Structure 1
Amino acid sequence: MDVQDQYTLGLTAFSPDRGYWTSGPGFVAPGYVQSGRGLFPIPNGGYSQRFNQTSAWGVAVYGNGGMNTTYSADYAGQAFPSPFCGKTGVFCGRNSGADLNQAFITAGYAQSFGRLSVGFAPVLAVQIFKARGLEIFAPFSSAPEQLTNHSYNWSVGAGVRAGLQYKLTDSLRPGVAGSSPIWMSPLENYKGLFANRGDFDIPANLTAGVAYDVLPTFTLLADWKHIFYSQVPSVGNSSTEQLLLGSMGAPGIGWRDINVIKVGGEHRGFDKLALRLGYSYTPIPSTLAT
Structure 2
Amino acid sequence: MLDRQRQSPVYRFAPSPNGRLHLGHALSALLNSDMAAQTRGTLLLRIEDIDLARCTPAFEAGIYEDLAWLGIDWQKPVRRQSDHFSDYRQALERLKEMGLVYPAFMTRGEVQARVKQSEIAGGRWPRDPDGSPLYPQDDRQRSEYESAELLKSGRRYAWRLDMEKAIEHAGRDLSWMESGDGERGIILADPEKWGDVILSRSDAPSSYHLSVVVDDALQNVTHVVRGADLFQATAVHVLLQKLLGLPQPLYHHHRLITDATGRKLSKSDGDAGIEALRHRGLSPADIRRLVGC
> What's the TM-score, normalizing by structure 2?
0.24
Greater RCO, 1 or 2 (C-alpha within 8 Å, sep 6+): 2
> What's the TM-score, normalizing by structure 1?
0.25
State which structure, 1 or 2, has the greater radius of gyration over its C-alpha atoms.
1
